[in-house]
Structure 1
Amino acid sequence: MAPERPRTGGGAGWRQPVTTGLALAMVGFTSSFAVVLAGLRAAGASPAQAASGLLALCAATGLTAIYLGLRHRMPLSIAWSTPGAALLVSMGPQHVRFGTAVAAFLVTGALLAATGLSARATRLLEAVPAPLAAAMLAGILLPICAAPVQAVVRFPARAAPIVIVWAVLFRFARGWAVPGALAATLAVVLAGPHGGTGGADPWPAPVLTAPDFTDAATVAGIALPLFLVTMASQNLAGMSVLAVHGYRPRLRPVLVTTGAATLAVAPLGGHAVNLAAITAAMAARPDAHPDPARRWIASVTGGAVYVVLGLAAGAAVVLTSAAPPLLIESVAGLALVGTLGSALHTAVSDPGEREAAVVAFAVTVSGIAPFGIGGAFWGLLAGLAFRLLLARRSEESPNDLTARGHALLTPDKEPR
């Protein structure tokens, strides 16, 4: 359906959508940049490479949002894949070489673009049950969301104030909870001893990293889950948010554009560019502008602000390098608590999908990596297989089930 027509005139001006776009970009950046940096460092990036990756993602996110907003005249907010960054954090203990991770980022971009070029592939991805995709995401997020607990135990004097600030603000001013936790982290880092900046430069610069495709299993083990979690948790979720507010853009051109953007920034350390899911609602709702036809101004403004925020990438790396990695990971975990809650709710809300979703969640959170392929891929595969098994089991007719029950209860027959 088309967006609702305004009840007021179009004279609300530019101030409202521009202010919304500014807030959109600030919320998107501050709430998840720590997750991105933690993911890139876990994937083997040096401080300079991590700063380059964040800079490239900010630029690609902003320029893509500007292009799509002007092209389609819709509030198509763009973001980096926060769940994808969380996936990289969860794979950290494998000590992946960053060149291998960059190769996986390139494959992810190619998969996103190829999906946009193929109507059949788009339908196939849309057919993945939402509870299973949510269960896979929850399995990825759970260890990260446990990091604040571990940090409080290991660094009580430094981590406890951060968690307390987050909890209090979450109760009284939820939108400020994550920025408040970041401010508390900055205060803790500046006030206490630290291990130095790790050679990080406060002014970021692009750093090209050559992709390494020699470890094909690891490349696939990163790229496939990164592609799936980005599609399910970002692109499809973002389309749903837009549909709720009356906007129905075609998914395929968006996928081609964001896939191309991912391919462009992958050698610079960017892992994935996609539709925004959470901040998408900020630009699409009436608060952005009374006239639905003018809300694209908010997403375009947000894109411009993202480009400027990229200049803070180096300073962000300096901050994260000056603190224990677990402390920074705990901030990422606090930022993802709401996402974890939503994923768990979606995973178990449908009784018919619940058992398969639990299987997907358990396998994902197990941390297994057969053939170098991470647990997220195996979790989704196990969930789909168990779902198929249950579906075939339910195809038995009631008479078949009754006969089987009689066979089990009849004394003169062997139970089967």
Structure 2
Amino acid sequence: MLLLSQLKNDFSFSALVAGFVAVLVGFASAIAIVFQAAKTAGADQAMLESWVWALGIGMGLSSMGLSLWYKRPLIIAWSTPGAALIAATSIELTMAQAVGVFLFVGLMILLTGVSGLFSRLSKAIPSPIASAMLAGILLNFGIHLFTALRSEVLLVGVMLLTYIVARMFVPRLAIAFVLFVAIVMVLMTGQLELSSVSITFSKPVFVIPEFSLSLLIGLGIPLFLVTMSSQNLPGVAVLKASGYSAQNISPVISVTGISTLLLSPFGGFTFNLAAITAAICTSEEAHENIEQRYIAGVSAGIFNLLTGVFASAVVGIFVAFPEELVLALAGLALIGVIGNSLKMATEIKQHQDAAILTFLVCASGVSFWEISSAFWGLVLGMTVVVSHKLFTRLKRS
């Protein structure tokens, strides 16, 4: 009863919408990569729906549980870089072997969380470097707003105008107004075709795992490294940039490991801290009071659960949205986060060079050995920070 009373007092429509927008952006922008990954692993239509069921249930329960427990918007997502890695692999594997790899990765994530290793690593990263990494990752989402404007002048133009006007009069509800106007427009212009969408319950499919040492090394270890460097590290940066630097990360990482272990046999290939979608839920757009933004995490959890329970219908709906709408919505929702991250990245003079270099590498999108620019930007930034400290000590001695 106390929990329900607190939820009622803390509830806000802006946080509810932030959760929905986060799920919409997450699914609509990356579900195609998940489909490719599933097909690479040999999934048929039934298994494809099972993957979406597992991902929705895992993200939903984890996000809701963590957000309610810590009273912070802790958003759990699938590993998009991980899905891309699976989809692009040249290694032949069966679904059973893929599940074996996912279980291995889940165990490694759990051990990393329980040991506290990842938490200690993330605390060693200066806030300006983490903020610069986040700004670099999010920059392209802001730029995509205007590339979408070029191809859909009317739709995106009206969304942009709605955002500017709403920010002046009802800043907390700006994204809600943008979403409403966008949906009305695509319905009126016939760009949202829902006639082929059928509402049916998902049917999870259990797969007995098979383990192959070569696959665990050749695919499992890269999948683990990509998830930790390209998803969890930026996820921590989002929390720090949004004022949640005191959050204990180890239990959160442990929960993602447990979720992966439990749901891998059904297609839940890898869970981790969200970055892009988390930035939507942790921003001032969700709520001006940082203590009440956890409602956005609960909201995202509920909508993720719905995507799992009604996987086939939800996937059809998300795919039906015009790509330009999703790109514009994400760009508008992240404007405040990008600005705040850039401010935090450059406010400490001694870290400015390192932060700018980190930002540029992350924004470039460059990758080596299937490891994303977020990792390499962080490596370069930390190298500059450590070198500066060593040089300062040598000068003093």
What TM-score do the two structures reach when normalised by structure 2? 0.71
Distance 1:69 1:152, change over 3 A: closer
Contact residue 221 and residue 372 of structure 1 kept, 8 A: no
Alignment of 1:180-195 (within 5 A): 180-194=177-191
1:31 to 21, 29, 39: 21
Aligned equivalent of 1:268: 268
Match status 1:176 vs 2:173? yes
Deviation at 1:37, TM superposition (A): 1.4
Deviation at 1:178, TM superposition (A): 1.7
**Superimposed CA distance per residue, residues 372-402 of structure 1 (whole angstroms, 9 cap, x where no aligned partner):** 222111111111112222223333437x9xx
Deviation at 1:269, TM superposition (A): 6.1
Deviation at 1:109, TM superposition (A): 5.1
Distance 1:371 1:12, change over 3 A: closer
Deviation at 1:179, TM superposition (A): 2.1
Deviation at 1:354, TM superposition (A): 1.0
Aligned residues: 369
Distance 1:57 1:172, change over 3 A: farther
Alignment of 1:116-265 (within 5 A): 116-194=113-191, 201-203=198-200, 205=202, 219=223, 222-223=226-227, 224-234=229-239, 241=244, 251-265=249-263
Q: Matched residues in 2 for 1:20 and 1:312: separation?
A: 28
Distance 1:68 1:259, change over 3 A: same
Distance 1:284 1:191, change over 3 A: closer
Distance 1:270 1:216, change over 3 A: closer
2:33 to 35, 43, 54: 43
Distance 1:153 1:175, change over 3 A: same
Q: Which has the larger radius of gyration?
A: 1
Q: Percent identity?
A: 23
Unaligned runs of 5+ in 2: 39-44, 90-94, 210-214
Q: Matched residues in 2 for 1:188 and 1:328: separation?
A: 13
Contact residue 59 and residue 305 of structure 2 kept, 8 A: no
Unaligned runs of 5+ in 1: 1-10, 289-294, 401-416
Distance 1:149 1:95, change over 3 A: farther
Distance 1:200 1:16, change over 3 A: same
Deviation at 1:141, TM superposition (A): 0.7
Q: Matched residues in 1 for 2:59 and 2:172: separation?
A: 22
**Superimposed CA distance per residue, residues 322-363 of structure 1 (whole angstroms, 9 cap, x where no aligned partner):** 244233222112111122122212211111111101111111
Deviation at 1:261, TM superposition (A): 2.5
Distance 1:111 1:280, change over 3 A: farther
Name the aligned partner's letter for residue 79 of structure 1: I
Name the aligned partner's letter for residue 359 of structure 2: F
Deviation at 1:64, TM superposition (A): 3.7
1:63 to 48, 61, 64: 61
**Superimposed CA distance per residue, residues 204-237 of structure 1 (whole angstroms, 9 cap, x where no aligned partner):** 6366698986556863673221121123324x56
Alignment RMSD (CA, Å): 4.8
Distance 1:303 1:360, change over 3 A: closer
Name the aligned partner's letter for residue 232 of structure 1: A
Aligned equivalent of 2:74: 78
Deviation at 1:78, TM superposition (A): 3.5
What TM-score do the two structures reach when normalised by structure 1? 0.68
Q: Matched residues in 2 for 1:218 and 1:286: separation?
A: 36
Q: Matched residues in 2 for 1:166 and 1:102: separation?
A: 43
Match status 1:338 vs 2:359? no
Distance 1:369 1:29, change over 3 A: same
Aligned equivalent of 1:390: 388
**Superimposed CA distance per residue, residues 138-160 of structure 1 (whole angstroms, 9 cap, x where no aligned partner):** 11110111111111111112221
Name the aligned partner's letter for residue 34 of structure 1: L
Contact residue 366 and residue 375 of structure 1 kept, 8 A: yes
Distance 1:150 1:103, change over 3 A: farther
